[in-house]
Structures are given as C-alpha cells and as structure tokens.
Amino acid sequence: MKIETRIQDEWLALRCRTNDPGAYADLVARMEQPLLYYAWKLTGNRDAALDVLQEAWIQAFRGIRKLRDPSAIRPWLYRIVHGISIDYLRHRSLESISETGDLESCEITGEESFTADDAAEVHRALDELPPAHREVLVLFFLEEFSIAEIAEATGCAEGTVKSRLHYAKKALRTIISRRVYGQHA
C-alpha cells in the first residue's frame, strides 16, 4: 500500500477515534466502494455484499477506538468484511446442504502478470474463481496490499497468501485465455 494512502488512512482513523464531526462520513465515503466490491467478489451476490457491508460498518464504528494501529485501518476494515463474508458463505453452504441433503464437504479449496488492458476481463473472470482466490487478487491488485497486509486482512499465513496468489493468477490467466480464444461462452 502506498505511503500516502497509509498516512491519509491513519489521519482518518484518528479523527474517527476522537469523534471528529464528519470523520465517519469521510471514512465511509473513502472506503465504501472498495469494501463493497471486495464483499461482492467474496459472496458472489451484490445484495449479500450490501448486507455484509452494513454489518461491517456497525462493527467498525463500535470497535474503532480499540484499533491499536490507526495506520492499519484499511487492513482492519478488510478483515472485518472478510469475517462477515465468510460467515455468510458458511451459512449459505449450510442452507444448501440442508436443502439438498448433500453432506459432502463444501470447503473451498512461474508468476502470471496482467496489464491494464486485461482489466475488464479480469473483473469478469474473478467471478469464476473460488472466494479464497478472488479475495487475494482483489486485495493485491486493487488495494495494492503487501503479502503481510493480505495475511492480516484474511487471517492466513503469509505462505498461504503467496500460494493462493500464485494459483489464483494462473487460474485467472487460464479463464481469460479461454475467453479470448472463444472457448468459453
């Protein structure tokens, strides 16, 4: 993450912690769209993402005074959205199992690079990836989080994040290649 972004985030977090008028509105204005996109890519459902985000803001506003490092507000917010999204996915999986009677497991199971020209295809292709891959790609490419920041936001070990990034990039490239060569509808 860029140093300017970190400094602006820290200032905003400090303003929220001191109940500065307008600080919460500024935080929502700054973070709502990226967090909504992240929740949407994790849940695969825009309505669910809106519900996740609403709950995330409630938790964030209640807990912001306990945030130890104000410069880490962005990964902290993503961690909140991650947790609520995972709870949503678990609940949805349990509902699916109970509706179908299927007791099988519902667990989600050289570097590729992408250019700006690939952006539209990348956004569409993200929807075809498992949530664990979608989340690391969104945090890495869109938020420019470091491996350590992604690990903090997702609650995974750094090695797991590196592995997921590697395999997610390969899978994304495969999906995009299939579409480019007309092998996918």
Mean pLDDT, consecutive 10-residue segments, the chain of 185 residues?
89 94 95 95 92 96 92 94 91 56 38 58 82 89 90 92 92 81 55
- Please report the pLDDT score of residue 105 as a whole number: 35
Residue 28: closest CA among 57, 70, 55, 1? 57
Q: Which two tokens stand for residue 25?
A: 């509105």
Domain segments of the chain: what residues? Answer: 1-107, 108-185
Domain 108-185 sits in CATH at 1.10.10.10
Distance CA 86, CA 94 (A): 12
Distance CA 124, CA 126 (A): 5
Residue 53: closest CA among 41, 70, 65, 64? 41
- Please report the pLDDT score of residue 103 as a whole number: 34
Architecture of the domain made up of 1-107: Orthogonal Bundle (1.10)
pTM: 0.71
